[in-house]
Structure 1
Amino acid sequence: MKNWKFPLIIAAVVIAVVMLCIFSFQGVQNKAISLEEQISTAQSEIKVQEKRRADLIPNLVDCVQAYDEHEYQTLMDVINARGSSSDESVQEIQTMIQAVAEAYPELKSSENYRELMNELATTENLIANYRSNFNKWVKSYNQYVRKFPNRQILGMLGYEVISYEYLDYNVSSDAPTNLFD
């Protein structure tokens, strides 16, 4: 009666060790997959922000330039009207200025420039934050896959370790420049 308990205990221990190894190996692989997905997500977020910059900034610049032209033309019309002695042309300009003043309470392009510069700064800060996030995930991934026993386990599972490079923070050649220079 005592002899059947010992082999049963040995078999249970062997099965438990095998199951523990299987779950450990799978856990290491799952963590590596999760970190790779985080890196892919971070790369995607950077691309989204760069696309936002590419779409938004030229439109903002065009808008500010169009308003500049409008303000310049309005100012030139006022100056020309002051030089004119005709009461009729002065009356036309006054009517035009009132219409513009109602549509645009302040004729100041400087606020448009400030908003443009604020949007530029916000966009560049977002891109820098997403690049920083990408680098954080790359660091976590690299540390994880290089640690013992993760490196050995991933190798045994046929998992190919991907080499990621950190993004640098140098300003890209297509980054917006200061418009006031």
Structure 2
Amino acid sequence: MNVRKIVTVVEEVRAEGGRAVTPPATVAVTAAVIANPWAGAGFVEDLSPGIDAHASGLGALLAPAVLEALGAPAEAYGKAAVVGLDGEIEHGSALIHTLKFGDHFRKAAGATTLLPAVEKRGAAGVVFDIPLKHITDATIRSHHQTVEVRIADAPHPDEIVVGLAAAAQGRPQQRLAALATER
């Protein structure tokens, strides 16, 4: 795996809707900018060798890093892949939509739910939103949120940005009723 850089961003929301958020709502993102293992190879029918070579290593690299950056137990989580213009969206999907990648985060966070994802193709500096959901109960509305990410010089056309996001809580000032209240 050829990693050009790792970017970590921690966001702390201290006020929302004109009111203090106590404790501050914290979200962390850690992303690796890697060489796309399939770029320049034309259409690759079987992506399995690249998945086997890279997915688990990426998960092992990113999962502990994002949780360390969060500095608190994760209550919500998500993942992303942004493929440079010389690649296919399927290249990013191949890396993040496998248990070889996602189980590193699930185990580290003590999670049991589906790890929500976004994947897209874009030029360097493209903005992408990582969706987050509760780590053990996807019906908890307060934890359905997104975090916006942008890496100024990535992805290059032959790269993929692979990222994980974790939140220490739900949305700041959330006040929607529980899903079970709707019938």
Higher CA-based Rg? 1
Give yes or no for TM over 0.5.
Answer: no
Higher relative contact order (CA 8 A, sep 6+): 1
TM-score using structure 1 length: 0.22
Quick check: which one's helix share is greater?
1
TM-score using structure 2 length: 0.22
